[in-house]
Structure 1
Amino acid sequence: MIIKFTSRLGNLLMLALAAFWLIPLLWMTVTAFRPRHAALSGLFSLDFTLNNFATVWSAAPFATYYLNTILIVVCVFAVQMLTASMAAFAFARVTFAGSSIVFLLFLVQIMIPADVLIFPNYNVLKQLSLLDTKLGIMLPFLASAFGIFLLRQVFKTIPAELEEAALIEGCSQWQVLWKIYFPLARPTYVAFALVSISYQWNNFLWPLIITNSVENRPLTVGLSIFAQSFEIGVQWTEVSAATLLVITPLLLIFLVFQRQFIESFMHSGIK
């Protein structure tokens, strides 16, 4: 009885926390679809409009911001998947001197906040003449220590007999990686994709520091500039509509793949 009561109490607490977290999201969503006079009146009414989104779309180059963000997210994840897969395969299956020490150095990178490296990364990009470029935004994130760790944990659970059988059949190491390890670790790749995409989609400080032109700004920086512009001021309906435009793709992706995201971490042994 005590265990059941504790379990129910925990479930109720989680539901209460989830409802508390949803309050700002619901308020922003409702405000984005309401006329300005109705949104600021404090009284609920059935007046809803799409004019806020039209105003936002015409007031700032959000189409350019979207294209920049999608390009950055896709390119970073594609390179991360390649580099993380090769490194994870090497740490899981290839025997070489000092592998444990090298892997430990990779794990140390997880504990270093990205903000600590902003100054040295900025100096490197300045020397390479990559400031205010999309490549400059992507370059510090093309390798992921977390992705290497996550994939290594999964690769070590794959039976070595499958690799041996493939090698006997004449497969190369590349073919073993892409025909055996990659398909069997697909749920983990989905989880890693969600982590990588959400991080790059929400990345704000680094792009803000190194970008100065509209042609290279992602959505987060564009939204910040839009919300602080003189024309918008405290017009919360337009700001809410712009925020909803930015976060909706990420929310939809997570809702579609949330089961694979949770299951992959359970299978890899990460709590």
Structure 2
Amino acid sequence: MAQNFAHGNYSHTQKNARNSGGGRTPRDRARRELSQNFLVDRHAVDLLVKTARPSGLVLEPGAGEGVLTMALARAGADVVGYEIDPLLVAKLKARTKLKIVKADFTTVRPPAEPFAVVGNIPYSITTEIVDWCLRAPELTSATLLTQLEYARKRSGDFGRWSLVTVENWPWFSWELLGRIGRESFRPVPAVDSAILRIERRPEPLVEDGGAWQDLVELGFSGVGGSLYASLNRHYDGVQAAFERAGIARDTVVAYVHPDQWVTLYRCLHHR
């Protein structure tokens, strides 16, 4: 969540913790339950905004105290901040005239007009927020500060490709566009973060989404013991398709690039 305590004094947290049950104040426990790690590095905020290139309608999951919210507005976006923590909502509404909505972002109905999502999102609900973005018909892009490992997995930075990325590849590109160290947050998390950008393509790479889904799900199913064997049970011309895509027959499914999947699809469906 894009909350920021850049102007705060953290010593009170340490003092109050000694007087609370379990070594934490109620506020500390609330932050932990909501997976709140506040972004305190203004350079990181600037990098996130620069990467997002905000314009038009922008939704921010987890507005917090509004540092990113206001930075997006200064960059020219018509920003709407969503925050589930009532205390932070009250503080932010007292500080700004920007539109702030008290709500769980994942339950919000997507706008009927083109919009982008930009946010420093909680690690604990990263999957839910990304799924929400992918399902939103008018989403143009999502620029999200996520756990580094998640961003690397989804963007292929490990040299492997996840089912989620491949499933959505014809409609969305996935890029890791910057790393943010854990020291940029308060409380300091156990891991580093990264900027993951998901951008809708101008035109889909495939025509039949259902056929694409069937192909990818079958390929990742493990039926037959290999990608080649899985596809060869259901499609004609698999060997020629593998040769066209430049995939060796013994290639593990996770190491097949999404663009190679597109070639397989076009060959096997005679596109």
TM-score, with length taken from structure 2? 0.22
Larger Rg: 1
Q: Which has the higher contact order (CA 8 A, sep 6+)?
A: 1
Taking structure 1 as the reference length, the TM-score comes to: 0.22
Give the structure with the higher percent helix. 1
- Structure with bigger strand share is 2
